[in-house]
Structure 1
């Protein structure tokens, strides 16, 4: 893409869906890519496909996040795009869901996002340039029954994104939150028979992220909703 304003991206919480599509799309337009995940083995086919760097990380741990950015800088470069895709779900009734599991899920979905944003901001503020993108979900807008942990995490993520955008936008750092309001298509989750396009195409999601990154600063988007055109809302 001509005149694309960024050169190096770190995707945290990378996996075979949205993250993989993003990594391919960014790599195709000349962006150097680093992929971070708890389980890096699942990323090996993608790493080989696009020659990305890969890092094992527990995104909920402050020291691990500091080390991730240092390793990224040494192996790939200082990221001017940071994308936080990590999240965790714990389903169950309020009366019986495991509190420790809820705490861990929230620490991955929301606290980890804060840690990533903090490390990104420290670097981007000195240059007056960068983008921080957060991958949200329907649960960040409406909490569903027996899904308190995911709702709390995604509401926290959305609040973080709003606060960061107001603080960092005037410093020329683009912060955007993407509400992925629907199921994402995959080999394990194809469109139901008779309902074409009822799930979100991860390649189309990735294209939207890239389009947002290419926006001029005098017309930045912050909150972006993505959903299948067939969905009623």
Structure 2
């Protein structure tokens, strides 16, 4: 963990799981900008620490970098011991994703270990992370849990069984938690990123194509600015509890079809 400034936040902790160079980083930056102490979690601690330095410097915020492997329940528990030691986790954003081939894979060619790893990261990891923070949210009667989904959360796609099964399960988890914990003041929402996520405006990151959240990037017509997407995550967090959103689809005004 890295404490990037000396001043303490008056608000709770925002834990962003699955922070890469695009969407996860933008979400972390947005919550830091709004005054939250932010814990960013991913597998690559070196890169994560650089992001923490950058966000802390730009937003004058406390940012902590914590390594996590969402496919390993022990790693999740140890990571959240660190997160919870910082204080009450008011916000959990689960943006983790197991990379898959962007070329369709014939069903009989999918290895079982690869299938299980994708399920572990996409849904089982989300289950473990949510279990770490829900008790504190229920105790205080407030909290927000946001899950990042994608086009494959809604429709099965030939050749992408791994991705679709994991994302379908994540969506189901989101719906179950919303119905169970909304009466206790915990807002749970599923964000469907239906398109290509590019680098933030002005960034020079090279373009790649993809199907989901943190792995998507693109340029030109049809790509979405991760900073703009992060605004929606913030909006979901501050929504009036009299009218909570449980699921929202985000897509570009000029969609690019795969």
- TM-score normalised per structure 2: 0.83
Q: How many Å separate the matches in 2 of 1:78 and 1:72?
A: 9
Report what 1:59 is aligned to: 70
> Do 2:70 and 2:121's aligned partners in 1 also have CA atoms closer than 8 Å?
yes
Report what 1:8 is aligned to: 13
Q: How many Å separate the matches in 1 of 2:13 and 2:144?
A: 11
Deviation of 1:6 after TM superposition, in Å, equals: 5.6
Using the TM superposition, name which of 223-232 and 11-20 deviates more.
223-232
Deviation of 1:13 after TM superposition, in Å, equals: 1.2
Taking a change above 3 Å as real, the CA distance of residues 180 and 6 of structure 1, as seen in their structure-2 partners, is farther
Report what 1:215 is aligned to: 239
DSSP 3-state at the match of 2:109: coil
Count matched residues: 224
Taking a change above 3 Å as real, the CA distance of residues 232 and 202 of structure 1, as seen in their structure-2 partners, is closer
Q: Deviations over 1:175-229 (max 9, x none)?
A: 000000001012222423xx3xx11110000001101111110011110100001
> Do 1:6 and 1:81's aligned partners in 2 also have CA atoms closer than 8 Å?
no
Select which of 74, 79, 95 maps to 2:89. Answer: 79
> Do 1:6 and 1:130's aligned partners in 2 also have CA atoms closer than 8 Å?
no
Select which of 30, 35, 40 maps to 1:35. Answer: 40
> Do 1:35 and 1:54's aligned partners in 2 also have CA atoms closer than 8 Å?
yes
DSSP 3-state at the match of 1:80: strand
Runs (4+) of structure 1 exceeding 6 A deviation are none
DSSP 3-state at the match of 1:26: helix
Q: How many Å separate the matches in 2 of 1:6 and 1:174?
A: 17
Indicate yes or no: 2:22 matched with 1:17. yes
List aligned pairs for 1:120-199, cutoff 5 A. Answer: 120-186=133-199, 187-189=205-207, 190-192=218-220, 195=221, 198-199=222-223
RMSD: 1.6
Deviation of 1:98 after TM superposition, in Å, equals: 1.1
Deviation of 1:62 after TM superposition, in Å, equals: 2.0
> Do 1:8 and 1:33's aligned partners in 2 also have CA atoms closer than 8 Å?
yes
Report what 1:117 is aligned to: 130
Q: How many Å separate the matches in 2 of 1:13 and 1:28?
A: 19
DSSP 3-state at the match of 1:108: helix
Taking a change above 3 Å as real, the CA distance of residues 232 and 43 of structure 1, as seen in their structure-2 partners, is closer
Deviation of 1:124 after TM superposition, in Å, equals: 1.1
Gaps of at least 5 residues in structure 1 are: none
DSSP 3-state at the match of 1:95: helix
Report what 1:200 is aligned to: 224
Select which of 59, 68, 83 maps to 2:79. Answer: 68
- TM-score normalised per structure 1: 0.91
Report what 1:90 is aligned to: 100
DSSP 3-state at the match of 2:114: helix
